[in-house]
Structure 1
Amino acid sequence: MTHTEHTTQSRKGKHLSFDERQFIAYLKNKLGLSNRAIAKELGRAPQTIHNEIKDGTVDVIKQRQIHGTKQYDYRKTEYSPEVGQKA
């Protein structure tokens, strides 16, 4: 098997920086890129990105009131770089 990309050569054993986590949040939440596309963009292994997103994903609940009587809750999952950093 011939490897065409050496994504872990210089990064092996290193943690993601907070800047990388913020970039992951932008690529995942705003642009909707896949984990593999994000890994290619950062030069990291796809499994690293998968684990990071799994550990840093939170539920976001937004509330909206209509005419002051009915209240609707909207649930959404998002990647948070702050939560990823703590994990």
Structure 2
Amino acid sequence: MNRSFVFSLFAATVVLAGCASQPGPESRPYTAEETRELAMEALNRRGLSFDEYQQKKAELLRAAQPTFGFDQQGEMNAEHTVVLHGRAS
């Protein structure tokens, strides 16, 4: 009875320690840059003609560029205090 209790306590400790360990790098999601690099490597391995390669590469690079827009309030400098309609920014 004593051995089975010790064994079950040891097994529970091992299971809990395994669950509490940090996940490996392979289980984390890829960043946008890593995804783009993987897509470029796959494109290089395809054996496409030069024109097809350039077209697919342009599509990948166009899709990877983030689109930035301005809000309707304009830009603000953090070094200056601006009052907008009675409230500080």
The TM-score, its normalising length taken from structure 1, stands at 0.26
- Bigger proportion of residues as strand: 1
- Based on CA coordinates, which of the two structures has the bigger radius of gyration? 2
The TM-score, its normalising length taken from structure 2, stands at 0.25
- Bigger proportion of residues as helix: 2
Determine which structure has greater relative contact order: mean sequence separation of CA pairs < 8 Å that are 6+ residues apart, divided by chain length.
1
